[in-house]
């Protein structure tokens, strides 16, 4: 029996340490009011984590944000997890959405449903995905379809980069597959320099202005800075001209951890935590992985974290 517990413990630790990406389902219908991790993600999870409780369904419907799910997983020592999708919509099986007009969970047609699904993978405060045109083979009037259909497409694991390339999809309806080719726009705030900036200039919002544009018109549009707040504490790595679009490739983050700085390592385990002093072997920022050296000389890789104003490295 001790060997069995040891094997389970090893499996849990390996699952916790290895990076994990979870894809949120767009919407879920449940028989129970208790929602577990396996209920709301696309991946098939191992028994050790699939039954992690997420929330109790209050009322008939509920929207659970990706941020809330991450905080719950962190409390279960799943600290190296990333979430694909902004939120998941959950409602109880007794909920009859067809009786409610303009329900949030029902679309007027498959195109609207697809737009809502794609937008769930994006930060709605920054981007908006909209389909401008489509072609189908064989042809069918999508306005006449309101239920019993399903969109099939490759997983959008990378978020925006995958959505930018999204063009061909499959619609399943009445046991038949329809090939759909879409044209779309992704609008967002694109930032431009309103003055010339020299190399190593620290970024400030008043140095830039923005225009709400279709980012697909720009080359390498996934590198555009869409939220100037995220660019704070950064410096430009080359001269920027007045009117030049701001990209992440033009910036470098000023590190909050510098090489040689003394820190501590925190290792979370199901029944205990370990804290060990260490020294940073390279510069780093929040949520970035850096190498650190332990007092015994061993080198480990960990993620820079901050708690109550104190920096540490999480293993």
Q: Where in the chain is the domain with CATH 2.60.480.10?
A: 2-96
CATH 2.30.30.760 domain range(s) in the chain? 262-314
Q: What pLDDT, on the 0 to 100 scale, is given for residue 123?
A: 77
- pLDDT tens-place values along the chain, 315 residues long: 545 444 444 444 444 445 678 888 877 887 777 888 998 888 888 877 888 888 877 666 778 888 888 888 887 777 778 888 878 888 776 654 443 333 334 446 888 889 988 988 887 678 889 999 999 999 888 777 877 888 988 888 888 899 999 999 999 998 899 999 999 999 999 999 999 999 999 999 999 999 999 999 999 998 999 988 888 889 999 999 999 999 999 998 888 898 999 999 988 776 777 899 999 999 988 888 999 999 999 999 999 998 887 899 988
- Name the DSSP letter for residue 10: H
| pLDDT for res 4 | 46
Contact 129, 94 (CB under 8 A): no
Domain 262-314 coded CATH 2.30.30.760 = yes
Beta strands in the chain (DSSP E): 20-23, 27-30, 34-36, 53-56, 61-65, 81-84, 87-92, 127-137, 149-152, 168-173, 176-193, 208-214, 234-236, 251-253, 262-269, 272-280, 289-293, 299-307, 310-314
Opening angle at CA 213, ends 207 and 215, nearest 5: 95
Please state which CATH number belongs to domain 188-253: 3.90.1210.10
CATH topology of domain 2-96: eubacterium ventriosum atcc fold (2.60.480)
CATH 3.90.1210.10 range(s) for the chain read 188-253
CA-based nearest residue to 250, from 190, 203, 189: 203
Task: Answer for the pair 177, 139: CB distance below 8 angstroms, yes or no.
Answer: no
- Cα–Cα distance between 255 and 191 in angstroms, integer? 23
The pLDDT, as a whole number, for residue 10 is 44
pLDDT score, position 95: 56
């Amino acid at each position: 029996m001790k060997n069995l517990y040891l094997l389970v413990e090893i499996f849990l630790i390996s699952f916790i340490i290895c990076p994990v990406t979870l894809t949120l389902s767009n919407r879920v219908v449940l028989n129970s009011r208790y929602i577990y991790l396996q209920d709301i993600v696309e991946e098939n999870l191992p028994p050790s984590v699939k039954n992690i409780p997420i929330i109790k369904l209050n009322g008939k419907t509920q929207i659970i944000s990706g941020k809330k799910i991450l905080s719950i997983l962190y409390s279960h020592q799943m600290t190296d997890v990333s979430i694909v999708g902004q939120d998941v919509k959950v409602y109880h099986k007794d909920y009859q959405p067809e009786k409610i007009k303009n329900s949030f969970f029902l679309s007027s047609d498959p195109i609207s449903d697809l737009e809502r699904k794609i937008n769930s993978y994006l930060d709605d405060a920054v981007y908006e995905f909209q389909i401008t045109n489509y072609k189908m083979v064989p042809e069918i009037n999508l306005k006449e379809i309101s239920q019993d259909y399903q969109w099939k497409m490759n997983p959008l694991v990378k978020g925006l980069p995958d959505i930018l390339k999204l063009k061909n999809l499959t619609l399943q309806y009445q046991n038949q597959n329809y090939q759909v080719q879409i044209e779309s726009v992704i609008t967002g705030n694109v930032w431009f320099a309103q003055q010339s900036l020299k190399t190593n200039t620290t970024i400030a919002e008043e140095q830039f202005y923005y225009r709400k544009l279709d980012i697909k018109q720009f080359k390498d549009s996934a590198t555009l800075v869409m939220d100037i707040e995220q660019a704070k504490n950064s410096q430009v790595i080359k001269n920027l001209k007045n009117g030049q679009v701001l990209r992440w490739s033009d910036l470098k983050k000023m590190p909050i951890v510098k090489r040689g700085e003394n820190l501590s390592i925190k290792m979370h385990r199901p029944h205990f935590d370990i804290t060990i002093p260490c020294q940073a072997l390279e510069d780093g920022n929040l949520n970035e992985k850096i190498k650190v050296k332990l007092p015994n000389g061993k080198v480990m890789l960990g993620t820079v974290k901050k708690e109550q104003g104190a920096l540490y490295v999480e293993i």
